Amino acid sequence: MEIMAKHGAEVKLLVLPGLMLLAGIGAVSLAIGKIDSLVLGIAAALAVSFVAVHYLLMWIGRHGDPFLLPIASVLAAIGLIFVFRLKPELFIMQALWVWSGLIAFILAAAVGKRVESWADYKYIWGAVGLILLLVTALFGVEIGGNKNWLIIGPIHLQPSEFAKLFIVLFFAAYLSERRELLAYDTKKIGPLVVPHQRVLAPLLAVWGIAMLMLAIERDLGAAFLFFGTALLMLYMASGRYSYLIWGGGMFSMGAFAVYALYPHVRPRIDTWLNPWADPNGAAFQVVQSLFALGSGGVLGSGLGYGFPNLIPEVHTDFIFSAIGEEMGLLGSGAVLLLYITLVYRVFRIALVAKTVFNVILAGGLAALLGLQILVIVGGVTKFMPLTGVTLPFVSYGGSSMVGTFVLLGLVFALSEVGASDG
Amino acid sequence: MSFWDWCLPYRKLVQAMADEVKKNVRRIALGLLGVLVILFGYLSYIQVIEGEALAANSLNRRSAQSGMQIERGKILDRNGKVLAFSERQPDGQYVRRYPYGAVLAHVVGYSNSSYGNTGIESRFNRDLSGIKNPWRVLGPLANLWNSKAGNNVVTTIDAELQTIAYRALGNRRGAVVALNPKTGAILAMVSKPSFNPEDVDTEWKILVNDPESRLLNRAVQGLYPPGSTLKVMVAEAALREKVTDTKQLFTCEGTWKIGKDYELSESHHQAHGKVNLEDALAVSCNITFGKLTVQLGPKRFAEAFTRFGFDRPTGLEIGDAPSELPDFNRLSEGELAQTGIGQGSLLVTPLRMAMIAAAMANQGNIMTPYLVTEINAPDGSQMETYSGKLLLTATSPELAQIVSKMMVSVVDRGTGSAAGLGRGSVAGKTGTAENPHGEPHAWFIGFAPVDNPQIAVAVILENSGYGGAEAAPVARQIFAGALR
């Protein structure tokens, strides 16, 4: 009975993103003054797909949290509308990425049923994550300022989008196994607790990776995400604030060293501290982003009536600013609230999970998602230094789209495990 | 005991461990969600409170971009002559054209994507750009009002008269203001030297560093000592305060020692002998007006400035410089006499002096000067109209009549004869303002025709010499042009 009610809610909510998408594409078409029937057809097919995913999940017998997929679909629909408005030539590709993401979601939800048993293979996950990152570090190609792309023939990949998930998986298994050690087998230096070396080892490894990413790939955002997520997961397992302080200190020191040694990291920090010192140079993107957000005001200029294309890379990292300009605070605030709701749901799933591994895994994925939102939305609004991170489900790009849908599929599976157990 | 009951202790242990971890997860959740909520607040701050300033920031190219996409409205003269229009380029963007070029540069102004707007282009930018509706408030709904073209602005300017005045000034630095005394409508406003608004882009560096300040609208921003043109107001004040009457005879001996170290003298160093007020104005007798000012005293003299509105804004759309008045109570007798003949620290704009002439022409009433009469939609439908409104009443119709009659004598038989168009037709007053920058500034203020005034003017020529010789002939050309 409860399951049926959930299904009813989910299918009703999944009608919304399709309607939004069609309305948005229609509005942009009217603003441009020409209607592309292919684009409208694709939008209609996507609208059907959102609902179809629900029935596919029912068919394979998956009954997870009914809010995850609708929230992600609404965000994906907003992303599609804005990619069409900003770079119409990329709309079809973005539609393909959304379809790939939906399929990835179903697959992750299906295999995620056995997520408990994955803990046994933790070193494999850790190794895969590490290899993905190392390969990127060694063979990475620079696209749009970040040297975190892997090009294999026609395929452009950002492996870090997938490596994140493997590392979270590894940490969840590793930490749930060594929970007692972390919490109780400690020494003290003054008021701070020093962890045992067996805890320190993986933490140092992640720290090393993060610093490597910073130095080689210029990827401050990803480095912060990796390390921040690992640190928050360590706290979840241990409950010790000292680890947060240790970790924060290590990251700050490392980041400061990189800041001092590598000139390319410097402008990002300097422009954050004072963007108006060089508004047409190093701080151009941030300043343009602030102009877009400010010009949008409360109600925005209306879809197609603003000038978001004044911001470089607006369809990927800066798509949030474009939403803020054309939809105003109503649009950007709604998007941010959707993310807050999504992160809240994932944390809730962690809080009703039955095993330590499931709790830490769901909690870690929630932390990863929450930190990513903080980094990108905080970056384009000058809340914190700007770093090249995508806006999940919304930014143009395949790796991020598929990776984040896999994350959500895992969470969907975890929500079911938690619920059906009790 | 079933299998599940047997397992219970183990399940409870797992549960207990998970519960402890959950406490930590809950803390992380609260912390992270808390930060995201703060981020939400910060986003609202950026978009709503900072938004106004960010949208208006000079580096924000949005308004310039939208401006180049729609056809900016035309600026027209009172007879429909085009003073400014936008020309579509092959790339679809618009370029601003100014058919009258330098002749109207200061009034019409320029509209430039790099250097902003001035004059009417600036003051009526929202109408001209078609973004009149405050779109920040209305949001997307404002797009419903956004037309393909901006609104047209119809001005009070008479382009032909403007051209006549511009040519009459020749190569001299100076300014002309001509207005309709009954309405306040500005008919011509010239400032020289001028510039071509179409060349702002290419000549910007030269223009902003120009020692002759070509960008300055001297007619409303230039501050000058009014010289003897101020005697019109002093005459009115003296009659009004009954310091004198039209019959009293004054004795002018060519010089007048005031106190120990002040000496007032006539500009041509001749004694005017026995003169009444009308004669004194006609020959511009410094000693008579110096004495009258001293008799008025600082209080009543200051009140005259207030009555004629020197201490309040004129209300002209494109703005004007406030007058610089001395602190009357601290003036010595000699300084008071100096100020009474328009010298000393008193500084006013040509527009102000035109308004004094206009007050005499319009029975003591000063109308608010204005430049724009209509704002019309591209389809020609009227959106807004403006007409003359009373700024203040400076004096009584009787006194205005008496002073006007004296001003006629200035032109008929006095220093202003070069402004005349036949006996009894023009009223006026010359001025020759000593200044620290060399030759005196030549002034003329006046109006015509006397029996039914249509135009009041102020003419100033910087460092050109005597008002009667230099400024009065310019005024004559303008009167002739206006009454053609």
Q: Would you kindly state where each structural domain of chain B is located, as residue ranges?
A: 63-155, 161-482
Q: Please state which CATH number belongs to domain B161-482.
A: 3.40.710.10
pLDDT for residue B146 is more than 70: no
Note the pTM of the prediction, 2 decimals.
0.65
Pairing of strands B116-117, B152-155: unpaired
The arithmetic mean of pLDDT across residues B347-376, rounded, is: 96
Peptide bond into A263 cis (omega under 30): no
- B1 pLDDT band, cuts 50/70/90, is low
Please answer whether residues A258 and A265 qualify as being in contact, where contact means their C-beta atoms are separated by less than 8 angstroms: yes
**A273-287, B62-76, B414-428: range with highest mean pLDDT:** B414-428
Interface test with A, best of B47, B50, B60, B136 (most A CBs within 10 A): B47
Percent of chain B residues topping a pLDDT of 70: 93
Count of all residues that appear for chain A in the document? 422
Q: Is the pLDDT of residue A197 over 80?
A: no
A237, A293, A337 member nearest B47 (Cβ): A293
Q: 């009454």: which residue's tokens?
A: B483
* DSSP letters spanning A318-387: THHHHHHHHHHHHHHHHHHHHHHHHHHHHHHHHHH-SSHHHHHHHHHHHHHHHHHHHHHHHHHTTSS---
B228 tagged catalytic = yes
The band of A419, judged by pLDDT with boundaries at 50, 70 and 90, is: low
Asked if the model's pLDDT at residue A393 lies above 90, the reply is yes
Under the banding of pLDDT at 50, 70 and 90, the label for residue B131 is: low
The predicted model gives B70-90 an average pLDDT of: 91
Residue A218 confidence (pLDDT) above 90: no
**A370-385 pLDDT tens trace:** 999 999 999 999 898 8
Pick from A110-119, A389-398, B20-29, B464-473: least confident? A110-119
Split at pLDDT 50, 70, 90, the class of B364 is very high
Average pLDDT (A398-410) is 94
Interchain pair B42, A336: CB under 8 A: no
Annotate B348-416 with three-state secondary structure.
ECHHHHHHHHHHHHCCCEEECCECEEEEECCCCCEEEECCCCEEEECCCHHHHHHHHHHHHHHHHHCCC
Q: Which of B111, B129, B228, B404 is catalytic?
A: B228
**How many CB atoms lie under 10 A from the CB of residue B475?**
33
pLDDT bin (cut points 50, 70, 90) of residue B440 is: very high
Contacts of B390 (CB under 8 A, 6+ apart): B365, B366, B367, B368
Distance between CA atoms of B271 and B240, rounded to whole angstroms? 27
- pLDDT confidence of residue B378: 85
The string over B259-290, giving b where at least 16 C-beta atoms fall within 10 Å of a residue's C-beta and e elsewhere, is eeebebebbeeeebeebbbbbbbbbbbbbbbb
- The long-range contacts involving A134-143, CB below 8 angstroms and separated by at least 24 positions, are A135/A159, A136/A160, A136/A163, A136/A217, A137/A212, A137/A213, A137/A216, A137/A217, A140/A216, A140/A217, A142/A218
Would the pLDDT of A100 be above 70? yes
Tell me the pLDDT tens digit for each residue of A238-250: 888 888 888 888 8
A302-329 burial by CB neighbour count: b if 16+ within 10 A, else e?
Answer: bbbbbbbebbeebbbbbbbbbbbbbbbb
- Distance between CA A262 and CA A212 in Å, rounded? 12
State mean pLDDT over B27-43. 96
Q: Is A291 helix (H, G, I), strand (E, B) or coil?
A: helix
Mean pLDDT, residues B39-50: 94
Report the candidate in A371, A285, A342 with the shortest Cα–Cα distance to residue A66.
Answer: A342
- Which of A56-70, A107-121, B361-375 is most confident? B361-375
pLDDT at A117: 86
Q: Which of A2-11, B313-322, B391-400 has the lowest mean pLDDT?
A: A2-11
What's the mean pLDDT when you consider all of chain A?
85
The per-residue pLDDT for A4 is: 66
Encode pLDDT of B232-278 as tens digits. 999 999 999 999 999 999 998 888 888 777 788 887 778 888 999 99
Task: Name the A residues in 23-42 with CB < 8 Å from any B CB.
Answer: none
Report d(CA B241, CA B247) in Å as an integer.
Answer: 15
CATH of region B63-155: 3.90.1310.10
- Residue B285 and residue B251 in contact, taking contact as beta carbons nearer than 8 Å: no
Least confident of A409-418, B294-303, B319-328: A409-418
d(CA A24, CA A88): 13
Q: Nearest CA to CA, how far is B128 from chain A (Å)?
A: 19
The answer to whether the CB atoms of B43 and A381 lie below 8 A apart is yes
**Mean pLDDT across B133-137:** 50
Residue A417 has φ and ψ, to the nearest 5°, of -60, -45
Are B432 and B228 spatial neighbours (Cβ–Cβ below 8 Å)?
Answer: yes
Spatial strand order of the sheet with A155-157 comes to A141-143, A146-152, A155-157
CB contacts, 8 Å: B23 with chain A = 239
The pLDDT confidence band at residue A222, using thresholds 50, 70 and 90, is: confident
| Chain B residue at shortest CA distance from A244 | B28
Work out whether the CA dihedral A188, A192, A193, A196 comes out positive or negative.
negative
Residues of A in contact with B29 (CB under 8 A): 344, 347, 350-351, 363, 366
Determine if the peptide bond prior to B449 is cis (ω within 30°).
yes
In this prediction, residue A196 carries a pLDDT of 65
A41-77 confidence digits (pLDDT tens):
999 999 999 999 999 998 988 888 999 999 999 999 9
pLDDT value, residue A201: 75
Alpha-carbon distances of B223 from B71, B91, B194, B302, B321, rounded to whole Å: 37, 44, 17, 19, 7
Nearest CA to A376 among A323, A418, A297? Answer: A323
Residue that the structure tokens 């990796």 belong to: A226
| CA B309 to mean position of chain CA atoms | 14
A389/A377 Cα distance (integer angstroms): 9
Let me know how long chain B is.
484
d(CA A337, CA A350): 20
User: What is the per-residue pLDDT for A1?
Assistant: 47
Residues A188-194, mean pLDDT to the nearest whole number: 66
Burial of B214 (0-12, 13-18, 19+ CB in 10 A): buried
Q: Which of chain B's residues have a Cβ under 8 Å away from the Cβ of A333?
A: 40, 43-44
Cβ-based contacts under 8 A for chains A and B: 180
Q: Burial letters for A179-201: b for 16+ Cβ neighbours within 10 Å, e otherwise? A: bebbbeebeeeeeebebeeebee
Question: Which residue, among A127, A164, A60, A68, has the nearest Cα to A414 in the 3D structure?
Answer: A68
Q: pLDDT confidence of A11, banded at 50, 70, 90?
A: confident
* pLDDT over threshold 60, residue A422: no
- A312 and B CB contact within 8 Å: no
Note the pLDDT tens digit of each residue in B150-184: 889 999 999 999 999 999 999 999 999 999 999 99
Distance CA A286, CA A289 (A): 5
For residue B77, pLDDT over 50 is answered with yes
Mean pLDDT of B338-347: 93
Closest alpha carbon to A301 in B69, B117, B110: B69
B373 contacts: CB under 8 Å, gap ≥ 6: B78, B154, B155, B156, B185, B385, B386, B387
- Fill in the amino acid letter for B481: G
Q: Which of A293, A301, A358 sits opposite B140 (nearest CB)?
A: A301
